[in-house]
Structure 1
Amino acid sequence: MQESVAHVDFDPLAKDPVADLDALLAAGHRVVRSPRMRGAYLVLTRREAEEVLTDTATYSSAYALGGPVAAGLPEEIAAQLPGFLREPVSGVVDADAPEHGRLRATVQRAYAGPRVNPLAPRVTGLAEELAAALARHERPDLVEHYALPLVHGVMGLAMGVPRDMVEQVAAWAQDMAALITPDTPLPDKSRAAGRLREYEEWARGFLAALPDGHEGALGVYAHGDPAAGAEPFTVANQLNNMLVHWVAGTVTTCHTITTAAHLLLTDRALWEQAVADPETVTARALEEGLRYAAPHRGLVRVTTRRTTLGGTDLPAGAQVLPILSAANRDPEAVPEPARFDPHRDSVRDHLAFGTGAHACVGAHLARMEGRVALTTLVRRHPGLRPADPDSPPPLLPNYFFHGIAHLPVTGLTARSATDDAS
């Protein structure tokens, strides 16, 4: 099969990768290859991205997280891995049918509305606590002091992790992310593997003690839910999914919240609309922010046969990466895609949560905490403004995710006596 695809030097760690993707789309590219992305075929357009995401027979997800962790590491680092990563494990996103359906049924039950919706008052309480505390920081940062602790706290609630262990589990989750991220330096992977041995010791004891009927997602992982057709995970999969899903559910949601907040804050008219009608405007801004700058780039698929995608011939065994942020800004699918407009028709019509069999099972939770985070922020601090209005906030360089690293703000409402007492 003759190569018929453009080769481009797309860098996911560039200063503004979304602008680079816009330029590729403007030049008419649908599928390209990038040596920086290990020679993967990058899918840029909405139509082709949907084709890849929905045709699971042609595009396998078995390599979505890079394959077995040990296989991607030098022998001396692989030898340091904890026992659960030496067993066959799956983060669900890296499984094909029929295994995928069995695993997904359990995860879907763990984050279904009946389990997520009752958390809303506690999520709101945590958001109000963090919003009130913003003014106590010398240089308040919506990433460090608001969105990040909020999403970790919410994930702790959703999973059923004790509050005094949330910070530690979050750190272990970052160690897992470091292991499976291709560009993590090997010394950092070695240290992460060592720390995950400590995680395994704690988690095995914690999960073994979870009672049947435990309200958190970890209870479903451990015991299943026979009435809903949700089977329990193996112990290795319980340990693996606690960390994989923690990363997936916190990094993306933090980026979602801060991206939407930044876009509202930089358009004063939109911010004032949000102040006047927080429930409506922030919900729409959250969705438009997901489209405008998708927090997750996408996961690799591997072709199971020779095929053609967007006019490009693909051999069997090719790595194919649908770039969600590009598909969401495809001018064939979205009018004026580079314009942030929460009042668009069909504001939920985006691929930030994927589509098809592997669509994000945590979307309901992410949307709930995102809406709570933004409405609480607007109501508590209606005079909020960017501290550096003339400088775009720096992006956090990351192979898998896209989001703001720091978002300093000013214009905070003064603390009340109640806040001081707390």
Structure 2
Amino acid sequence: MSVAANFWNYNSGGLFGSTSNNSGSGLNSLYGVLSDRSAIKNGSYQRLLKTYYRSGQSSSTASSSKNSSSSSNMLDRIFEEKRNPKVSKDVQEANANLTSGLSTLRTTVSTLQKDDTYTDTADGKSAGDKVVSAVKAYVTDYNNVVNAAKGSTLTNKTAYVANMMGSTAANADKLAEIGITVDSSGTLELDETKLKSASISKVQELFSAKDITSYGSTIASRLRFAGAAVSSNTTTGSTGTDNKAGTSAAGLKTDSKALASDELYAKVKDKDGNETYDVNKIFTTAKSFVSNYNHMFDTGESSSNSGVLANLSYIREKTARNADALKQFGIEVNDQGRLKIDEHVFKQSDMSKVQAFFKDYGSSIATNASLVDYYTTTQANATNGYTSDGTYNVQGSSRYADTM
């Protein structure tokens, strides 16, 4: 079993609760977190419990009244616990340590991504000494976050810690080359002697900020998203911010599908009667794609909606993997993951190759953009929870199906 997979199976206080007795219990715990808050607020949770306990009571027996009273007391206790959950001191400490630890680790990763960490300074500090110090700090801070996450109930943060651990496991061989190994508990161990003998350039490449697919960039991305997730009961961020991200995501979805369609590349006749592509029309769509892409990230990265953040991360990574292909068409990806289009280069490109590229890349981006739109609108409304008859109100399911 992988390190990341092990992390999901810690007992009480873990990511989504213990899964040792019931394979679905972890998922059920998360499902409850997403719905209970609003259901309690609008009273439907209490109605659901009453419906459940009424259906379980036996009728016309001598013990019926006693059972009813017992069930009523149990209902009151459950409802009170849902309204005012008791959090142990250990869990409170783990939550506080995780929140502060994520901030500290983010600073540590930033140090490893700065160019001046890998250069000698006038005060006599060598690049080698600075790199060793930065890596040692990273290992310590990383372990603090992992250990705190194991006892935390902040699921919007611990989910990204688990993702971070998965990325670390996937890069275990590269980390081993600079003296960092991953143990069975998911924490890191450092061989300082091996680190000192490793090439400084190898450390810099591993944590490169210029390559958004590097290990360091991936960890930085997860930390940024985890830091934006304010609490375990929060599923949406600022309504205004999410609405803007949703609008741009919807536009990006439309542009992506258009750039992958046959209609956009239909031949037209030029002034000499020759059939050719309507390059201006295609460029206008590509320019809109770039604009909506950048605006979606500008507004969406401050969201606290984990669904939004996850899909933005997927889009960033897909774009990074296709950076060279995009550049051939005059679309460049900067260090912040934003796009810039060169009109001249784009219009000089072979439009048949542009279409072939966007049939794959564009269709994939459209799927995630649609999910960003979904999580900023429909999914936010879906947390209204249970209806008065005790059934769960799942809104927008047909809209979600359109992305599959």
- Range into which the TM-score falls when normalised by the shorter chain: under 0.3
Give TM-score scaled by structure 1 length: 0.25
Structure with higher RCO (Cα < 8 A, 6+ apart): 1
More helix by share: 2
